[in-house]
Structure 1
Amino acid sequence: MDEAWSPVVLAESSSSTETLLEDLWTGAIPYAVFPGFLDKSECSGVIEALKTAPMTTFKSGDALVSTLGVYLPDAVSDPDAYFARAAELEPAIASLLERGQGDVRDRIRLMFASHLKRPVVAATGPEGQEYGQGSLRVHGSGAGSSVHRDVVSVDAAGWNVAEMDAQFSAVLMLQPPEAGGELTVYRQRWRPEDDTEFKNKGAKGWDPRVVEGAQVATYAAAAGDLYVFNPTQYHEVPLTSGESDRVSMQFFMAFDFEGDGPVVTFS
């Protein structure tokens, strides 16, 4: 029988969780969650503000996906364009995420810092340029993500954040869909040799056979829930359905094991 693979609930942690990122990185836990991190009324405020935000919309299969924010793996070949676009979009994102108790991203960083006993700060480039700090995504009905991994050290090789020892994904659920859209994470880390046999040709993602037999954990986040996981492990988001879009905000986190340097955030 497989050993238990149980998440950590941050809101219930009465003691330090300094080893949280190490436990995520080694696969000892599938994810950590802070239920109800953001008040539902604050979530509704962000969703309402998104209606007039400068979103970019594209088709994913037969579904519509809208985004606001930069995504580093899509822009690795042009650092100047990436940082310029991040700076251009930052005022709109900051306006959306400035809620009653302050910028949601600052509150997330402060919460993680209190648990990790390390500073959590916005990542900056070699010349002091600030990386994008969060991407908002609206997945319409029928949208999702097939089995895949996010490995910044490979996908953004040469960038300073890619040189850090470990990376994570933090996701704030603003509105869950009526069905589907759950985090599904497998206890199996991507290996370069997987690409030869399992990488989908001409399409995103990997053949589901790559995670055959692996332990799996799922999490259906409610509005306001915040969770963090290790995206170098295979994961997916099942197709959504129903009238409610899946609306979320996410960014990466990275840090070095040695020393007491900061955890940095970027998107």
Structure 2
Amino acid sequence: MPALRVDPLFALLVADAYTDRHIAALAAGTAAAVHIPGFLDEPTCAVTIKSTNRLPIDDYDPTRVPVRIARFGPALNDYRGSDGALHERYWQAANAARIAWTAARLRPDPVAIALARLGAAWGSAIAPATISGRPVFGGTLREINNGAFVHFDEVVREYPDGLFDQQVIAQLAFNLWIAAPESGGETTMWRRRWRPDDETHRTGYGYTPSTVRGYQHISLRSSAGDALLFNSANLHAVAPNPGQRRVAFAFFLGLTVTGTLIFWS
């Protein structure tokens, strides 16, 4: 069997804080991910995990996501209709989530902290993506204890006719853990993007492991307080961590043609 050819640029970068070069490298595909240990300190994580009890937690539709993932906040790809357009129900869910978020009074607000630090790194504030002038929701909370299938997230493929007022040229995923397991729960990212023939390996919302077998990859198990930023167009998955909690805030960042950053979930 021939040796795996390795891309030296597909690397995990570890730093004390995010920089504009990190974001640019991820967008350009010259880094795999940027990991910031201790993005939030332990006392903040402890306060935040208690505060999340005030949020209304729901599960994904089991017909679409058969492995249970508890979450708060709507995601755009959950409301894509059969015609490929965003269903009007999304706006009702987004409004309800904003009301619930305000009522929960998360102090400190981990999503606001993350957006402020990332915006400072990039050199300009990060605004929510908009659709016909209406801002979308950003900042879901997810508890993934049973793992997540191999999948990719790329809004320009999910909505090929266009969705946002802004034109996105690269999409990054941000995760900030407030509870993490001592074993299992690794995030794995492959140097592999979607190809049309991957649809023969589809299972539910994702793909079978054979899709990424033999490809260069990076796996990371994060601790509570850690942050991870990576290009979500690369196939990625989460390993199960039975018996412990893996809870993270998450949102997507989009680099636009004008050089600004927008966010959504």
- TM-score, normalised relative to structure 2: 0.85
Residues 1-267 of structure 1 correspond to what in structure 2 (within 5 A)? 2-4=6-8, 5-11=10-16, 17-57=19-59, 64-77=68-81, 78-94=86-102, 96=104, 98-100=106-108, 103-127=109-133, 129-140=134-145, 143-157=146-160, 158-160=162-164, 163-195=167-199, 197-200=200-203, 203-242=204-243, 244-256=244-256, 258-260=257-259, 262-267=260-265
Q: 1:264 to 1:187 in 2, by over 3 A?
A: same
Alpha-carbon deviation of 1:79?
A: 4.3
5+ unaligned residues in a row in structure 1: which ranges?
A: none
Number of residue equivalences: 252
The one-letter code of the counterpart of 2:196 is: P
RMSD: 2.3
Quick one: distance in 2 between partners of 1:251 and 1:40?
Answer: 21
Q: 1:189 to 1:64 in 2, by over 3 A?
A: closer
> Is the contact made by 1:56 and 1:67 (CA closer than 8 Å) also made in structure 2?
yes
SS of 2:207's equivalent in the other structure is coil
Quick one: distance in 2 between partners of 1:6 and 1:94?
Answer: 38
> Identity over the aligned pairs, expressed in percent?
25
Q: 1:263 to 1:10 in 2, by over 3 A?
A: farther
> Is the contact made by 2:51 and 2:106 (CA closer than 8 Å) also made in structure 1?
no
Q: 1:41 to 1:97 in 2, by over 3 A?
A: farther
Quick one: distance in 2 between partners of 1:8 and 1:162?
Answer: 29
> Is the contact made by 1:174 and 1:224 (CA closer than 8 Å) also made in structure 2?
yes
Alpha-carbon deviation of 1:10?
A: 3.7
Quick one: distance in 1 between partners of 2:168 and 2:220?
Answer: 27
> Is the contact made by 1:37 and 1:226 (CA closer than 8 Å) also made in structure 2?
yes
Alpha-carbon deviation of 1:12?
A: 5.7
Alpha-carbon deviation of 1:94?
A: 4.2
> Is the contact made by 1:154 and 1:162 (CA closer than 8 Å) also made in structure 2?
no
Quick one: distance in 2 between partners of 1:64 and 1:46?
Answer: 22
> Is the contact made by 2:180 and 2:247 (CA closer than 8 Å) also made in structure 1?
yes
Quick one: distance in 2 between partners of 1:31 and 1:216?
Answer: 11
> Is the contact made by 1:70 and 1:85 (CA closer than 8 Å) also made in structure 2?
yes
Quick one: distance in 2 between partners of 1:94 and 1:159?
Answer: 26
Quick one: distance in 2 between partners of 1:10 and 1:81?
Answer: 40
> Is the contact made by 2:54 and 2:104 (CA closer than 8 Å) also made in structure 1?
no
1:122-177 CA-to-partner distances (Å, cap 9, x unmatched) read 222213x221121111234xx11121111211213331168411111100111012
Alpha-carbon deviation of 1:217?
A: 0.6
Quick one: distance in 2 between partners of 1:123 and 1:147?
Answer: 26
Alpha-carbon deviation of 1:49?
A: 2.3
Alpha-carbon deviation of 1:96?
A: 4.7
> Is the contact made by 1:97 and 1:105 (CA closer than 8 Å) also made in structure 2?
no
> Is the contact made by 1:133 and 1:265 (CA closer than 8 Å) also made in structure 2?
yes
Q: 1:168 to 1:3 in 2, by over 3 A?
A: closer
Alpha-carbon deviation of 1:66?
A: 1.6
Q: 1:168 to 1:144 in 2, by over 3 A?
A: same
- TM-score, normalised relative to structure 1: 0.84
Quick one: distance in 1 between partners of 2:17 and 2:247?
Answer: 25
SS of 2:132's equivalent in the other structure is coil
